[in-house]
Amino acid sequence: MKQTPDELEPILSYITAILSAIGAIAPHGAPASALYASLSNLGCSMEIFVAMMNRLVLDGFLRKRGATYLLAVEKCGKIPTVSDPEKIAVEKSLSE
């Protein structure tokens, strides 16, 4: 089922926030639980989170080591930057 731009917008926002937050604390990576907790507060379901993370790993943007996600810099190149609430929420959650 193809998604509409309105359905994709929050997912793209979540992905940008995830990549930015993990990149900000590289090379240590971020625990999956902290990433999910911060995104669930923004309305991201577990199903969407798992699908996004699996796809980011499959496509080579992230690597997974145990329950920790690391940025695959060789694939991402320049880390995306955003200044919206999603990134701030993810980074705040990871620093706690």
pLDDT digits (tens, 9 = 90+) for 30-88: 899 989 988 888 888 999 899 999 988 988 888 899 999 988 865 555 554 444 555 55
H helices of 1-96, in order, are: 5-24, 32-40, 46-58, 73-76, 85-95
Owner of token pair 């609430």: 85
The pLDDT assigned to 80 comes to 47
Exposure on the CB side of residue 47, measured as CA atoms within 13 A: 0
Quick one: angle between helices 5-24 and 85-95, nearest 10?
Answer: 40
Give residue 60's domain range. 5-95
Mean pLDDT in residue range 10-17: 82
CATH code of the domain in which 35 resides:
1.10.10
Structural domain total, the chain = 1
The pLDDT assigned to 65 comes to 92
